[in-house]
Amino acid sequence: MLKLHHAKGSRSARIIWLLEELGLEYEINELEFHPRALKTDEHKKRHPLGRVPVLQDGDVTLFESGAIIQYILARYADGNLYPATDDPAFPAYLQWFHYVEGTLMPPIGTIVTQTVLLPPERRNADVLAMAERLASKVLGPINTVLIDNEYLIGDFSAADVMLGHAVAMCANLQLVNDGHPNLQAYVERIKLRPAFAKAMSL
């Protein structure tokens, strides 16, 4: 059975969301999102940097949320939640699947660091403001593609699991606002998906 090492509030929720959407059986090793749980010798044998998610599947141990999602899709999805390579939607699927980590998460990581992880005396208002401006700019193309689509490539796909999780995080950080009406509606659609609600509850 697939085993996911997970910490609430982390990217590992993406993996639970996908597993729930696919109806796959899995077990969770729930870890505290704190160095005392993630930096142990035991967990660093799974992930050398002491992070989550980590997926174990028999003799396979894999980290990086995007890689884990691609692995699950290739091994267990039976063609569900991703277009075939000859599908006209395939290029857009690839683009939005990778947009999240390549473009959106860098400023979000800075925002979380400056507002949550660093003690107040080490926070920098200029760094935070710059990251917020960049995040707003980066959200713009996603808002645009959702003008005519309920989901990123039309039908719900694993690209929505990757990027939608981050957009929901942006909404929680008050970065999705009235300037992004399509994103606001997108987040509400995502929240109505039972698999998403389950992933956020764990």
The total of structural domains in the chain comes to: 2
User: Rounded distance, CA 63 to CA 111, Å?
Assistant: 24
The pTM score is 0.95
pLDDT, position 34: 83
Tell me which of 76, 105, 124 is where a domain ends.
Answer: 76
- Is the residue at 200 inside a domain? no
pLDDT, position 39: 92
Q: Is the CB of residue 43 less than 8 Å from the CB of residue 31?
A: yes
Specify whether 94 is located in the same domain as 189.
Answer: yes
Specify whether 170 is located in the same domain as 136.
Answer: yes
How far lies 107's CA from each of 11, 18, 48, in Å?
Answer: 15, 24, 24
The residue with tokens 């929505």 is 160
Specify whether 181 is located in the same domain as 118.
Answer: yes
pLDDT, position 37: 86
pLDDT, position 33: 86
Give the contacts of 136 (CB within 8 A, at least 6 positions apart).
175, 179
Strands (E) in 23-163, as ranges, are 26-31, 54-57, 60-63
Which residues of the chain register pLDDT less than 70? Answer: none
CATH value at residue 18: 3.40.30.10
> What's the domain range around 61?
2-76
Over the stretch 4-45, which tens digit does the pLDDT of each residue have? 999 999 999 999 999 999 999 999 999 998 888 899 999 999
Specify whether 115 is located in the same domain as 176.
Answer: yes
The residue with tokens 């959200």 is 139
Specify whether 6 is located in the same domain as 58.
Answer: yes
